[in-house]
A and B are shown apart, each in its own frame.
Chain A
Amino acid sequence: MTDIKPAGITANGALKLTAKDFKSDQEVRWCPGCGDYAILAAVQGFLPELGIPREKIVFISGIGCSSRFPYYLSTYGMHSIHGRAPAIATGLAASRPDLSVWVITGDGDALSIGGNHLIHALRRNVNLKILLFNNRIYGLTKGQYSPTSEPGKITKSTPMGSLDEPFRPLSLALGAEAGFVARTIDSDRQHLTSVLRAAAQHQGTALVEIYQNCNIFNDGAFEVLKDPATRDAALLRLEHGQPYRLAPDGEAIVHDVTDPDPTRAFALSRLTEPTPIGVLRAVARPAYDRQLNAQLEQAVTERGEGDLAALLSGSDTWMVR
């Protein structure tokens, strides 16, 4: 974990928000027991820490169970269309660099119908924080396999087992030149919060994969990572500057999230036993929105503010009297 202070906390502490301030007046309508509740609580608990006033925060989502998320927050929000949240958020973040823009998406939304927008947002490095709720199933359409479902998955649309190889979201993100890539788990509030903090600090696009339990259509998908009896062996907890071992007797490697070479992060993203959680990569790269707005400033510096009359006339006119 990088040790940069969270952005935006005012020195005089004038802004004192609590989790309650981020709860909207809307009734939460996820299934009882859904992992989304825990994530919502963690996000509401974390947002005051940002030190950013509510009106400067925007949550944009696509379609799916997780995409109802913005309705339950008292920030600005948009529940958009399937897969397109990164594109919509890109336009907002690029034109309003003063805002803190978050994308809420799921495995179907981000990796299937919206795969193209996700990879391009990552390579472009717009200042977006993308929270990908991965439950390895389509919940809102009542239980079809998703692009992260394990091969052979028996679902309503795959009664004899699914045939396609799943995506590994973090490998995909690293392949798409993502600067910030992390993984966490819905039920581990402390860890989830620490990852959110690191993502918020990152300038540019941050992808956070959150393992999320769908207790209706894919219950227990991550149980081995959560059960106190198995989780210590099943998880590889990554911390910046701390050593980790890929096997109990393996070589100790000091985890460096700032390593410009993504090779190690990619290797970690392939690993399933144990499953790494934490920040895999946090490499500073110029953010698209900052560069875009710098070009606008540069154009004004070089050519002056645009003069509409001069533009319309151009250089080649004639008079009719």
Chain B
Amino acid sequence: MTSRVEETGSTFDESHDPESEPANGGKRVRRLDRVVIRFAGDSGDGMQLTGDRFTSETAGFGNDLSTLPNFPAEIRAPAGTLPGVSSFQLHFADHDILTPGDAPDVLVAMNPAALKANLADLPRGAEIIVNTDEFTKRALAKVGWQADPLDDGTLGEYRVHPVALTTLTVEALKETSLARKDAERAKNMFALGLLSWMYHRPTEGTETFLRAKFAKRPEIAEANVLAFRAGWNYGETTESFAVSYEVAPAARAFAPGRYRNISGNLALAYGLIAASKQSELPLFLGSYPITPASDILHELSKHKNFGVRTFQAEDEIAGIGAALGAAFGGALGVTTTSGPGIALKSETIGLAVSLELPLLVVDIQRGGPSTGLPTKTEQADLLQAMFGRNGEAPVPIVAPASPGECFTMALEAARIALAYRTPVFLLSDGYLANGSEPWRVPEVSELPDLRVAFATEPNAPDGSGGFWPYLRDPETLARPWAVPGTPGLEHRIGGIEKQDGTGNISYDPANHDHMVRTRQAKVDGVSVPELAVDDPGGDARLLVLGWGSTFGPIAAGVRRARAAGGKVAQAHLRYLNPFPPNLGEVLRRYDKVLVPEMNLGQLAMLLRARYLVDARSFTQVSGMPFKAAQLAAVISEALDD
């Protein structure tokens, strides 16, 4: 998934275009331009790991790809039940793709619950690989099936491959010392081996991975490698799999460079480390565990040799408090959380606004309100980020549009925070956090210079030789950052209103009015790039405008609409506060503006209020990303209107 609007010139549509080719030997090889595979099983079946490995193999092979992990909040929901089903969807192609795919071409179902939970998503003719060992009367009854769907015609419109995955795995491992129960646990690797054969995936990476993962238990490592190879060999030899598939590398989808696969949370963690390096400030993360943000805490805690301090606080409030304290001391202070955590941090964000210290507030949004849907995605924290504080407390907001962009936007958030001495929101979400895509590894020399100059000299304009902590830079309106330890610049700051310049407590009405407007002007004046519009014909009358993680589905929907002859322009906001300087002008250029969002129209509300534009909302708050087909239909409707 490449995510720059300007680069959507591919002629490929996100629909099937398979060509068949005769192959050597007994087995045929078909060439496909793209495939969507969904692995589904119990939460304990290792589906996320299986999906991750298939993704790594696919990334290494050079396909473009996009992934969608989908799992319950419960760690181990009761085995074999519908709520316990965990799945991982992967879309890979020989061309540039934008989404994890609307519907799977292939479903791997490890048990009846996994089949039942996912069946409705399968288009007619999809392939289903089922683990028949799990289709016992008891297991079927657990999900409310009286009869076995494998026999009763329920699956008549699909191509079903019944495989005794458990039996075959145990059989393959019978020479090992493993107990049957442990051997059974390797069945996900058998399934991975089989799929790897079906799609001609390279296998060395997975074997290396397994040996590293189970380095302390070599017998388990070898058993998993054995199961993985057995799955591959099963595909090669059994007659039930007559066809394998090739999806060529996506040579044209990528600009030259070195690539790796990356998830949003990993890219974000790397972006923070890069920001620390580029600013030459030590990184301090204050955080409290919360889904789906905890992976950033885990990742950063591994990199202490970069001078990264991670502090697992007693609560969300202490997490941001400690980050702000570290920022006062000259660190790059960061806190990471999700929506419920932001609610708790609001007061401290307000303090950071008042103190005018740099601080990064990372919100990996999830379904709300309250606990909501911890493992599902949503973008309903925009207005919370924008307004969720007492008083006039403006905070810049940035939002990455793809997993890889989480890296870039972390650097951008740091740039703004450091240059303007302000807290900055970065709004990611569960879809970006856990989804992954190929990412061009940037050269360190390409990264922005984020160095800041601490105040070192008294600055009082009254000639007293004193230090005025709120004497502003006339260009940015930023105040000086004088860190403790600097002689002669001792000063006190606080959340009480202060006199501009001196920073002394002030209850003066005119000063308060001035300070409120100055803090607003500072944020309004943050320099952000102009909004790029993708309008290939230059004559579209409809603009589709989104923000954050909806970029992929919107761009895919726009492509489909264009392929059907529709004239539609697309633009995507990465800067929500302040908005890009040309946004008003862009909006006025179009007769109609369509704003798809995974909330009830929060961006649309801001656009209507700010620009008096009749922006139309298209909203969905299901905890799942938009589908390309769904958006294509909405766009067509808007075009016909």
Question: CB of B547 within 8 A of chain A?
Answer: no
User: Are B326 and A320 in touch, CB under 8 angstroms?
Assistant: no
User: How far is it, in angstroms, between the C-alpha of A306 and the C-alpha of B280 when the chains are bound?
Assistant: 13
Question: CB of A5 within 8 A of chain B?
Answer: no
Q: How many residue pairs between the two chains, A and B, have CB atoms under 8 Å in the bound complex? A: 206
Chain A, 39-80, contact with B by CB distance < 8 Å: what is the 0/1 string? 000000000000001111110100000000011011111111
User: How far is it, in angstroms, between the C-alpha of A89 and the C-alpha of B325 when the chains are bound?
Assistant: 6
User: How far is it, in angstroms, between the C-alpha of A93 and the C-alpha of B284 when the chains are bound?
Assistant: 12
Question: CB of A319 within 8 A of chain B?
Answer: yes
Give the distance to chain A from B618, nearest Cβ to Cβ, in Å. 35
Q: Which residues of A contact B260 (CB under 8 A)?
A: 313-314, 316-318
Q: Which residues of A contact B442 (CB under 8 A)?
A: 312
Give the distance to chain A from B90, nearest Cβ to Cβ, in Å. 16
Chain A, 104-117, contact with B by CB distance < 8 Å: what is the 0/1 string? 00000000000011
Q: A81-B495, A94-B322 are in contact. Are A56 and B484 (CB under 8 A)?
A: yes
User: Are A318 and B489 in touch, CB under 8 angstroms?
Assistant: no
Q: A56-B485, A314-B260 are in contact. Are A79 and B495 (CB under 8 A)?
A: yes
Question: CB of B531 within 8 A of chain A?
Answer: no
Give the distance to chain B from A248, nearest Cβ to Cβ, in Å. 43
User: Are B256 and A299 in touch, CB under 8 angstroms?
Assistant: no
Question: CB of B514 within 8 A of chain A?
Answer: no
User: Are A78 and B254 in touch, CB under 8 angstroms?
Assistant: no
Question: CB of A263 within 8 A of chain B?
Answer: no
Give the distance to chain B from A245, nearest Cβ to Cβ, in Å. 39
Stretch of A95-103, A153-161, A270-278, A279-287 contacting B (4+ beta carbons < 8 Å):
A95-103
Q: Which residues of A contact B328 (CB under 8 A)?
A: 58, 78, 88, 92
Q: A55-B486, A87-B322, A116-B315 are in contact. Are A317 and B307 (CB under 8 A)?
A: no
Contact among A88, A300, A316 for B261, CB-based, below 8 A = A316
Stretch of B157-165, B270-278, B362-370, B392-400 contacting A (4+ beta carbons < 8 Å):
B270-278
User: Are A90 and B490 in touch, CB under 8 angstroms?
Assistant: no
User: Are B494 and A319 in touch, CB under 8 angstroms?
Assistant: no
User: Are A316 and B59 in touch, CB under 8 angstroms?
Assistant: yes
Q: Which residues of A contact B258 (CB under 8 A)?
A: 313, 317-320
Q: A76-B484, A95-B326, A98-B485 are in contact. Are A320 and B490 (CB under 8 A)?
A: no
Chain A, 291-305, contact with B by CB distance < 8 Å: what is the 0/1 string? 010011011101111
Q: Which residues of A contact B311 (CB under 8 A)?
A: 90-91, 94, 292
Q: Which residues of B contact A91 (CB under 8 A)?
A: 284, 286, 311, 321-327, 329, 331, 333
Contact among B284, B317, B440, B444 for A308, CB-based, below 8 A = B444
User: How far is it, in angstroms, between the C-alpha of A24 and the C-alpha of B503 when the chains are bound?
Assistant: 13
Question: CB of B491 within 8 A of chain A?
Answer: yes
Q: Which residues of B contact A116 (CB under 8 A)?
A: 314-315, 318
Instruction: Please give the number of chain B residues whose Cβ is less than 8 angstroms from any Cβ of chain A in the complex.
Output: 71
Q: A96-B329, A308-B277, A311-B270 are in contact. Are A78 and B318 (CB under 8 A)?
A: no
Question: CB of A141 within 8 A of chain B?
Answer: no
User: How far is it, in angstroms, between the C-alpha of A304 and the C-alpha of B492 when the chains are bound?
Assistant: 38
Give the distance to chain A from B466, nearest Cβ to Cβ, in Å. 8
Chain B, 293-333, contact with A by CB distance < 8 Å: what is the 0/1 string? 00000000001111111010111011001111111111101
Give the distance to chain B from A83, nearest Cβ to Cβ, in Å. 8
Q: Which residues of A contact B23 (CB under 8 A)?
A: none
User: Are B348 and A90 in touch, CB under 8 angstroms?
Assistant: no
Q: Which residues of A contact B350 (CB under 8 A)?
A: 81
Question: CB of B524 within 8 A of chain A?
Answer: no
Contact among B307, B322, B441 for A313, CB-based, below 8 A = B441
User: How far is it, in angstroms, between the C-alpha of A303 and the C-alpha of B62 when the chains are bound?
Assistant: 31
Question: CB of B581 within 8 A of chain A?
Answer: no
Q: Which residues of B contact A71 (CB under 8 A)?
A: 492, 494, 505
User: Are B325 and A309 in touch, CB under 8 angstroms?
Assistant: no
User: Are A55 and B318 in touch, CB under 8 angstroms?
Assistant: no
User: Are A78 and B355 in touch, CB under 8 angstroms?
Assistant: yes
Q: Which residues of A contact B322 (CB under 8 A)?
A: 87-88, 90-91, 94
Q: Which residues of A contact B351 (CB under 8 A)?
A: 80-81
User: How far is it, in angstroms, between the C-alpha of A236 and the C-alpha of B562 when the chains are bound?
Assistant: 86
User: Are A55 and B488 in touch, CB under 8 angstroms?
Assistant: yes
Contact among A54, A313, A317, A318 for B490, CB-based, below 8 A = A54
Q: What are 21 pairs between A and B in contact, CB < 8 Å?
A: A55-B484, A77-B494, A81-B351, A84-B347, A88-B321, A91-B311, A94-B311, A94-B322, A95-B331, A96-B330, A296-B304, A296-B305, A308-B273, A313-B258, A313-B260, A313-B441, A316-B205, A317-B259, A317-B260, A318-B59, A320-B251
- Known A56-B485, A76-B492, A320-B251; 8 more pairs at CB < 8 Å: A54-B490, A78-B492, A78-B493, A96-B330, A296-B307, A308-B306, A311-B303, A318-B260
8 tightest Cβ-Cβ pairs between the two chains A and B = A79-B494, A91-B322, A91-B325, A306-B306, A87-B321, A299-B304, A87-B318, A88-B325
